[in-house]
Structure 1
């Protein structure tokens, strides 16, 4: 490879600039200018307009009808373009006159603002001028045509600026409002009287802020000036004098008066980045990711929330369209509508009122529920049932029964069927439209503890109702209701269930699956139980129980959507399950947001929008999971009260609740079909820490999609699909939100050694993720065509040229699109085993192996699959949660003086820094179910894990504390001896600058012994399999599940470390086979590649900015005992200007490196093996990357050998490399 050209295929970065041009929105993302049509939300075009700078400002000027002159600037660079909008075109195409990169202008200082100036006679009417505000309080008069500076004027106040804003439109009238580092705004006129050294005196200083000024905005019609500051405040200033006095820039400041403070407001939780003014509003955005609209009295009219993570970086306001556009650090762009009235109101908070219910003396409301789409039902203390019609605002008495006085349960089905339960164990069922035709019977000796109408997977209007009642001792009765009888309603007892014992033993929610008549119940203990109707008089026990899966505070709802079961609870989580023959299989575990701990239910709309309802502290909240914002908030006092909601009534959303024995009604905006305008969806809310390529997926049209997994500091993992043709587009297929802390690293391992290519995304991959709080998790991921794989066989094959031709970013359109998080079609699996906390309550407690047998037998059952509705993507992702592993530390404490010591388990504050994974014993079928993971840990340990795909257990079996420093990087490779024996090696790099090479083959042999053909993962115990596994560091692994059987392995006994007598110990690696001291400090990245049968190329990059390359050779010290030796080394001490964060060996002569200096360098490695081994490095090619704080590097090839390179950090950039 003599030379290489790298070009960008796709990029997503924080949106740093926005501007409206008619009904177009211009967005600056890195060096690229994006064009959106705000009326259709269509992404029209994208063009790279700057070479190496990011766009920080966009200034437009009318150039005629549907034509705009646009000045784009960032850092020290200025670029001028022209946009023409053809409204008569069928597709409303916008034609951008592509700029000439040779015309890109660069000045000597940072550009803070640009202003288009009117032609002036002193310079000629044909000369188009701009004013540039520079970083040290300097103004440059710029000739746009000649691309040169006409004049440069300095202010007497020479200091660093944090912002600047021009007031005026012509050079003689121009005033600069500059926000200085001294927490003041300086106003001066560049055209003013110059003093010595060409400096202009200051006209006015605006002081008062307690922090630096980040934004200044002036509204000419009203003469108002607004400032935003580091002190979290927004201040409004007005020219002193008569009301609505405006600033006359043609006069001296002293003549027209000074600016005076008229308003100071605080509403942001962090720094305020930008502010805009209109006639009636102040709009501000800040570091807290909020966009707040204030009126001129300082009251918050609306507070828009929707961006993920921290900071909204850009803001634009269209007075014509009454729209606000915001661009965030999460790479998303959102549109918000300005309110019609300046009356203070939150976007999601409605107006409350008290409903006067005519009650007798001493009576008060006890229970409340919503009915159909227009009624609220209330049961009083004296047993009266009232209905409130929201359309007529009238109360009516439905019935009165003293049996239901003092205590009454009220449950209403979606069909308008009402069930009531009493203290004496009586149940009454009737239609709200015909309460006289009721069914009533005494069921229990004690009170009715709960009533639940079962959700149905395929409910219709004619479907019978299914009611579950729960009484004392956990007795649950299934009632089926029928209509159309002579009596009007008939109720039949269908089955009896028995809840497992718990302190709070009653039902809270239930679901009926019509496919196999499985009943899924949630109880007050936080558990989920699965039942099937059985013949006989004895109550049916659950055949599966997920004990405490929602904590100890209860399950609040369970429902089915698109063949998946969803449960919510008071632990703030909603979980997704696949209903299988043996019960429920956990797929995903998600949270709405931190602090939202009382989740009541999810609602799904036909358009794919998912809403979460629950309580956050004392507020009832309806949260959109699709747009990540609140749609309704009501201050009601919390969830411990009776309440009901009508989400789509004719008056909007109606929420009613009982508080202090009075009925409150809140009217809010409608929450159904209330979709926001999202021009570009978010990728991650914080920095992307790792990116891994999963494979290629082909849709039904034959288009190729690159499937990748990304992890982030925002605790999420995204599975994304990038398609290159005909337009570059990134689609988030699904998200994983299982981690409780940041996700630092990922590792991918093909699941089976099949005949197909390992780069095919449809073949399952095991995805291992590690991060903070010592969490290590495993998932099975596969991606397939949405309409099935069969359609691809008859498709015409594209030509090689069409497949392999790269698309330049300058001619591509790119965007991010999200699919609904919870709509994850799941691939049918061979065995649907239980999740971590599964307990078979029908099993005998005296048989400890019964759970294991049940789990093994479950592998013969197949999941029930149902055709899902089409999604918005032409490929779909299948994610299956497999297992997780946590480290906990065991400590001893004394509870009381003289009492025995008690052991406590606490989570280890350790972070996984890097992972590498491989399949066990490739080529041997008896070990195909084993997968190994080597983990670099922040506590100085190198840990080896083994995952058994048969019982879905992950165990720690080997450790090493050799480094005694934080281990930063890890990789692995294989060697083969002449007799065909495979040896596995692990490479680790730490903050001490050392790189170690470990032969882990003897330790792997302790897991699968060659003489055994059916081996389970060992428990590593000498006496009992129930003894906790203790690490030599005083830590133990904590993992739910059943114990696997042990093996009698002489290798295992020989290698066990006996540091803790009587307790389980892990295997321990004492010293590496090869130790390299190549770096002065941390080794951040390592990569290894096999050159030939005996030689390997090892490359590493570190904090010392150096690239180190070592040639390793495999030699035989004794027969079939390989020894790794160092043959040659080469280095580049200053390979980058900053820390190297990524290294990848492309081939035997090419190495890629990335760094936080935003450079990607390609190095030529000249390797000579004979007669003596030599290695020489030389610089081949460099590419500037527009992603800040690059944290990871990943490479892959397409079917034609085209190399794709991805870097991640504050965004993601994917490049292609063309070798010449």
Structure 2
């Protein structure tokens, strides 16, 4: 038995009672309470639960606008039933049990048989959508409807966000509140926008706040497997539960909060990577910049930053990683109503997660921006290895492999390809450069090619596209801990992978990348930052920064054999510029702003603007920033209303900081960042 509020009826006098019986049959009864009289019961619908060993429901909620009923069962499945048609049948059945309902006023015992004797008049309806075993074998504990989204909880330590897509349940993302909270019972949406997760941790009842990321209440009660009820208000909070047959009551009066948060944290540990998603223009508001950050606390955060308020407001948290998030990559897509992009996040335990982000203006929310997150696909090397044939003959991959850097291969979703595959390059700590293919429609992320050319930890990768009148070539740059920078032509492997994936429907034999076209020893030790920019002449400036504080810039030209794409690709290094000891510590951020303008950032907390002329890097200005242990930098440019070009950069490490600067359009620049 379970109770659920009935849409359109007052909560204090009416509710829906769902009862599971033999052979998976579930009955929907409307129960109305009348003061001084017995309850009035009316049968509204009959439903058939999916077959399983423990065939009964555990929770339910109505979707009144769609005319649907969503249920969770003991097997951990989410089930969607139609209820609009059954409401009509139930209205007709009132004439059947009218004789019984008239007797209800005198005796409640006669109401039950009169209501259920004619249940055969109602059709036994089957589900329209089933997500079998979504929460594992421990069952679904609650289903909640909030802002047209469906939220489900289970005893697997996860709560999920879903939506309806053409009367089908679609999982958008899953969340794991905190370590050890395996028994999640319910979700509560507070008036201040906070999401409270109620559950049991060991032998305690826990209320966990998703906004602060901490337990706000912990009550000893003996653990789960008990009846309980929790209620909170500005004046007090009450928790009632049954323990050893006794009804226990916990009451706590509201107390003034002595602790005030001056500045809320974005992550629990240092921020390792940051990417700017774009800007959202909100009516009657200023422009908001949307960023994505990754951290050592195993989460990624989508946040909005306003220049006026100078406050960072989280929009969504992604908690699918089991280890630290080391790198991010974005593939922008067409956004008719806002920002749309594919987000790739990767890090420890050789894990990659892919999400579809859609950000748009929302004046009703606190942040003025709404972000919808849809989980697309994931990949882990250890699971990939377990699916291999004859794996006992192979050397197992290192489970501690980390992805150090990601880069989306541009130009791979064009009409030239038979299927809209997107490709992703990854730098790995086990010395390999790997290429992955993503088919978003099938939610598949497949490893297609790899190379162990570097034979040491690869720190950075950057993919770029070379186009000319006769076609295009996909090129890749990788940098390792020995200071070497290698350049690859990955056009052939990508085309071979597309053909193989199209024929094998998502499964293929792993390809090997050919040897690099050119390898440059740019530094004496590890390369921590890398950026490539195309010049107006069709050449490429490659800038890199190292652990030894040096900066290296080289100019490349792509040459094709007699203009034929199949004749092979060659790279020529036209010019090399090096600046030893450009910084006093690791150079962890570098960007080529213009062919003559370079920006670098270091752990020494200096942001330096350089002018490249006559084979030299000349410092123009230096700005000190406040973020310690700088991990990464991202830059973009914007044209102001007066036509002035401004450069923006965001820095992350032990914090997050955004700076703005201007530079003269006439080289060499005379003024640095302001």
Distance (Å, rounded) in 1 between the aligned partners of 2:514 and 2:557: 22
The change in CA–CA distance for 1:770 and 1:1006 in structure 2 (over 3 A counts) is same
2:270–2:296: 8 Å Cα contact kept in structure 1?
A: yes
Distance (Å, rounded) in 2 between the aligned partners of 1:1112 and 1:511: 61
1:569–1:600: 8 Å Cα contact kept in structure 2?
A: yes
1:1086–1:1101: 8 Å Cα contact kept in structure 2?
A: yes
1:546 paired residue among 113, 128, 131: 131
1:648 Cα shift? 4.4
Give the TM-score, by structure 1 length: 0.48
Q: Counterpart in 2 of 1:630?
A: 215
SS at 1:690's partner residue?
A: strand
Alignment of 1:731-742 (within 5 A): 731-742=313-324
Q: Counterpart in 2 of 1:1127?
A: 574
SS at 2:493's partner residue?
A: helix
Give the TM-score, by structure 2 length: 0.84
1:1207 Cα shift? 1.2
SS at 2:136's partner residue?
A: coil
1:890–1:905: 8 Å Cα contact kept in structure 2?
A: no
Aligned CA-pair RMSD = 3.1
Distance (Å, rounded) in 1 between the aligned partners of 2:383 and 2:375: 25
Q: Counterpart in 1 of 2:116?
A: none
Q: Counterpart in 2 of 1:436?
A: none
1:767 paired residue among 319, 324, 343: 343
Cα offsets for 1:477-521 (capped at 9, x unmatched): 222334569974333333333333333332211111111222211
Distance (Å, rounded) in 2 between the aligned partners of 1:1150 and 1:600: 56
Cα offsets for 1:732-752 (capped at 9, x unmatched): 222222222211111111113
Cα offsets for 1:433-476 (capped at 9, x unmatched): xxxxxxxxxxxxxxxxxx11235566643885222212234332
Distance (Å, rounded) in 2 between the aligned partners of 1:630 and 1:1114: 57
SS at 1:1190's partner residue?
A: coil
Alignment of 1:688-699 (within 5 A): 688-699=271-282
1:779 paired residue among 336, 355, 362: 355
SS at 1:1092's partner residue?
A: coil
The change in CA–CA distance for 1:903 and 1:1020 in structure 2 (over 3 A counts) is farther
Q: Counterpart in 1 of 2:586?
A: 1139
1:968 Cα shift? 0.8
Distance (Å, rounded) in 1 between the aligned partners of 2:218 and 2:8: 31
1:609 paired residue among 190, 194, 201: 194
Distance (Å, rounded) in 2 between the aligned partners of 1:1130 and 1:458: 73
1:983 paired residue among 473, 484, 490: 473
Alignment of 1:406-805 (within 5 A): 451-455=1-5, 460-461=10-11, 464-482=14-32, 488-533=38-83, 539-648=124-233, 652-670=236-254, 677-701=260-284, 703-725=286-308, 727-752=309-334, 762-787=338-363
Q: Structure 1: where are the runs of 5+ without partners? A: 1-450, 788-869, 893-900, 1010-1016, 1022-1043, 1047-1063, 1168-1174
Q: Counterpart in 2 of 1:959?
A: 450
Distance (Å, rounded) in 2 between the aligned partners of 1:1128 and 1:904: 42
SS at 1:1180's partner residue?
A: strand
SS at 1:1079's partner residue?
A: coil
SS at 2:459's partner residue?
A: strand
Q: Counterpart in 2 of 1:1164?
A: 611
Cα offsets for 1:1114-1165 (capped at 9, x unmatched): 1122432332122221211212222221111111011122221222222211
Cα offsets for 1:782-827 (capped at 9, x unmatched): 322224xxxxxxxxxxxxxxxxxxxxxxxxxxxxxxxxxxxxxxxx
Q: Counterpart in 2 of 1:997?
A: 487
The change in CA–CA distance for 1:874 and 1:649 in structure 2 (over 3 A counts) is closer
Distance (Å, rounded) in 1 between the aligned partners of 2:588 and 2:245: 62
Distance (Å, rounded) in 2 between the aligned partners of 1:914 and 1:554: 38
Q: Counterpart in 1 of 2:496?
A: 1006
Q: Counterpart in 2 of 1:1212?
A: 656
The change in CA–CA distance for 1:551 and 1:522 in structure 2 (over 3 A counts) is same
2:425 paired residue among 928, 934, 944: 934
Single out whichever of 676-685 and 1080-1089 deviates more from structure 2.
Answer: 676-685
Alignment of 1:19-34 (within 5 A): none
Distance (Å, rounded) in 2 between the aligned partners of 1:1107 and 1:903: 41
SS at 2:125's partner residue?
A: coil
The change in CA–CA distance for 1:1104 and 1:1157 in structure 2 (over 3 A counts) is same
Distance (Å, rounded) in 2 between the aligned partners of 1:547 and 1:1104: 54
The change in CA–CA distance for 1:941 and 1:497 in structure 2 (over 3 A counts) is farther
The change in CA–CA distance for 1:675 and 1:721 in structure 2 (over 3 A counts) is farther
Q: Structure 2: where are the runs of 5+ without partners? A: 87-120, 387-391, 664-670
Q: Counterpart in 1 of 2:368?
A: 874
The change in CA–CA distance for 1:695 and 1:457 in structure 2 (over 3 A counts) is farther
1:1090 matched to 2:542? The reply is no
Single out whichever of 1093-1102 and 625-634 deviates more from structure 2.
Answer: 625-634
Distance (Å, rounded) in 2 between the aligned partners of 1:565 and 1:916: 34
SS at 1:888's partner residue?
A: helix
1:686 Cα shift? 0.9
The change in CA–CA distance for 1:890 and 1:682 in structure 2 (over 3 A counts) is closer
2:410–2:465: 8 Å Cα contact kept in structure 1?
A: no
Cα offsets for 1:588-646 (capped at 9, x unmatched): 32222111111110112333233221111111122333344434322111112233334
1:890 Cα shift? 7.2
Distance (Å, rounded) in 1 between the aligned partners of 2:36 and 2:418: 66
1:1150 paired residue among 588, 597, 601: 597
The change in CA–CA distance for 1:990 and 1:501 in structure 2 (over 3 A counts) is farther
Alignment of 1:363-402 (within 5 A): none
The change in CA–CA distance for 1:889 and 1:633 in structure 2 (over 3 A counts) is closer
Single out whichever of 593-602 and 921-930 deviates more from structure 2.
Answer: 921-930
Distance (Å, rounded) in 1 between the aligned partners of 2:429 and 2:306: 36
How many residues are paired up? 617
Q: Counterpart in 2 of 1:1102?
A: 546
Distance (Å, rounded) in 1 between the aligned partners of 2:177 and 2:483: 41
Q: Counterpart in 2 of 1:1018?
A: 501
1:918 Cα shift? 4.0
1:919–1:930: 8 Å Cα contact kept in structure 2?
A: no
Alignment of 1:131-146 (within 5 A): none
Alignment of 1:895-974 (within 5 A): 908-921=399-412, 924=415, 929-974=420-465
1:721–1:732: 8 Å Cα contact kept in structure 2?
A: yes
The change in CA–CA distance for 1:765 and 1:666 in structure 2 (over 3 A counts) is same
Distance (Å, rounded) in 1 between the aligned partners of 2:145 and 2:22: 28
1:632–1:668: 8 Å Cα contact kept in structure 2?
A: no
The change in CA–CA distance for 1:489 and 1:919 in structure 2 (over 3 A counts) is farther
1:548 Cα shift? 2.7
Q: Counterpart in 2 of 1:1191?
A: 631
Distance (Å, rounded) in 2 between the aligned partners of 1:675 and 1:1003: 61
Distance (Å, rounded) in 2 between the aligned partners of 1:681 and 1:595: 24
1:908 Cα shift? 3.2
The change in CA–CA distance for 1:718 and 1:492 in structure 2 (over 3 A counts) is same
Higher RCO (C-alpha under 8 Å, 6+ residues apart):
1
Distance (Å, rounded) in 1 between the aligned partners of 2:173 and 2:31: 34
Cα offsets for 1:289-338 (capped at 9, x unmatched): xxxxxxxxxxxxxxxxxxxxxxxxxxxxxxxxxxxxxxxxxxxxxxxxxx
Which structure shows the higher helix fraction?
2
Q: Counterpart in 1 of 2:110?
A: none
Distance (Å, rounded) in 2 between the aligned partners of 1:1185 and 1:661: 61
1:1192 Cα shift? 0.1
1:1066 matched to 2:560? The reply is no
Q: Counterpart in 2 of 1:189?
A: none
The change in CA–CA distance for 1:496 and 1:910 in structure 2 (over 3 A counts) is farther
2:60–2:142: 8 Å Cα contact kept in structure 1?
A: yes
Cα offsets for 1:361-408 (capped at 9, x unmatched): xxxxxxxxxxxxxxxxxxxxxxxxxxxxxxxxxxxxxxxxxxxxxxxx
